[in-house]
């Protein structure tokens, strides 16, 4: 293994690291040599309750394998709690080099039944939580001339899904946050990237399976284990990934892909300007073939994971 792919000497904070994808990331980062802050509130998939047990179990495993790790039970939606994740890393290990924004909850509802609370709490954890932790880490990254942000977005936002307006909006907000961090902090040797994961977890277990098509989709998801996501995260946290920033990667079992960014695909000019009438009669018909149709993740990836 290349030394540049290792994480020796690095201090990595991972949110939502008590279960699922976050757990696998924490374990792999520790095995790659990192000292790890295992953050997890221990709430349910919908954000209810607290339980330090899952995070403590992950730390126990890391220590039993000869690694170094500590538990942080803060809520990322609380700015002071989010800051404590970074503060605990510095207090325990003397530095912070990487942040993985993985924590999240689900409040899936079809839009006309979605409450303001459903909307706000999902955005608070995913989007505001990612801002809060990133804001706390950024000064350290800037001052030391090194830092790695890895954020979790979703194809529910990048592509689309039913009943997830809150989750999709939050995940697209994270995409925008990551892109802005990449632009603002490139001069300081800091990278920021997103991952859209495909993996079976507590959150994906909440996917409705009322039709044969949905049942087939769920069975596909069960074939994609959370440990398949961790290597991409560890790679992006490493010294060797210094030239990779502002990107979004998808990980689907043994398949990894990079997403394009929105860019204009067709343009029309009218020297005298446009009116509502000419837009309807000329522009929209001419641009019809360039418009992207509505789709869900399952429409783009209808095949079994490889």
In sequence order, what DSSP letters do the residues of 57-87 get, joined into one string? Answer: HHHHHHHHTT--EEEE---TTSHHHHHHHHH
- The encoded tokens of residue 171 equal 């995940």
Over the Cα atoms of the chain, what is R_g? 20
Residues in the chain: 306
Rounded (5°) CA angle 267-272-276: 70
Fold of 3-258: Rossmann fold (3.40.50)
Distances (CA, A) of 96 to 11, 36, 92: 5, 10, 10
- Decide: pTM greater than 0.85: yes
Select which of 140, 167, 200, 301 is catalytic. 167
pLDDT of residue 49: 65
pLDDT of residue 176: 98
Rounded (5°) CA angle 163-22-304: 60
Strands (E), 226-284: 248-252, 255-258
Residues of the chain predicted below pLDDT 50: 1
Closest to 182 measured CA to CA, from 217, 140, 151, 214: 151
Query: Has 167 been annotated as catalytic?
Result: yes
- Looking only at the bridges linking them, the beta strands covering 190-198 and 248-252 are parallel
């Amino acid at each position: 293994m290349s030394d540049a792919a290792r994480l020796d000497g690095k201090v990595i904070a991972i949110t939502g690291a008590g279960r699922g994808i976050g757990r696998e990331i924490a374990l792999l980062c520790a095995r790659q040599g990192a000292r790890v802050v295992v953050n997890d509130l221990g709430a349910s998939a919908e954000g209810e309750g607290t339980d330090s047990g899952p995070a403590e179990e992950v730390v126990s495993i890391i220590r039993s394998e000869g690694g170094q790790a500590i538990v942080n039970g803060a809520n990322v939606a609380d700015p002071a709690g989010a800051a404590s994740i970074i503060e605990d890393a510095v207090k325990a290990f003397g530095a912070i080099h990487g942040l993985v924004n993985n924590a999240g909850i689900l409040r899936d509802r079809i839009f006309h039944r979605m409450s303001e609370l459903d909307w706000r709490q999902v955005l608070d954890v995913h989007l505001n939580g990612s801002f809060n932790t990133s804001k706390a880490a950024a000064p350290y990254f800037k001052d030391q001339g090194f830092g790695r942000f890895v954020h979790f977005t979703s194809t529910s936002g990048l592509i689309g899904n039913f009943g997830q307006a809150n989750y999709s909006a939050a995940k697209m907000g994270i995409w925008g946050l990551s892109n802005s961090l990449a632009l603002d902090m490139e001069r300081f040797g800091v990278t920021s990237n997103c991952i859209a994961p495909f993996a079976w977890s507590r959150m994906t277990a909440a996917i409705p399976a009322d039709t044969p098509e949905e049942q087939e989709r769920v069975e596909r998801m069960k074939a994609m284990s959370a440990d398949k996501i961790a290597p991409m995260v560890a790679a992006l946290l490493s010294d060797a990934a210094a030239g990779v920033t502002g990107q979004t990667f998808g990980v689907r079992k043994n398949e990894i892909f990079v997403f394009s960014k929105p860019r204009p695909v067709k343009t029309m000019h009218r020297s005298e300007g446009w009116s509502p009438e000419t837009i309807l009669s000329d522009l929209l018909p001419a641009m019809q073939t360039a418009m992207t149709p509505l789709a869900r993740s399952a429409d783009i990836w209808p095949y079994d994971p490889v």
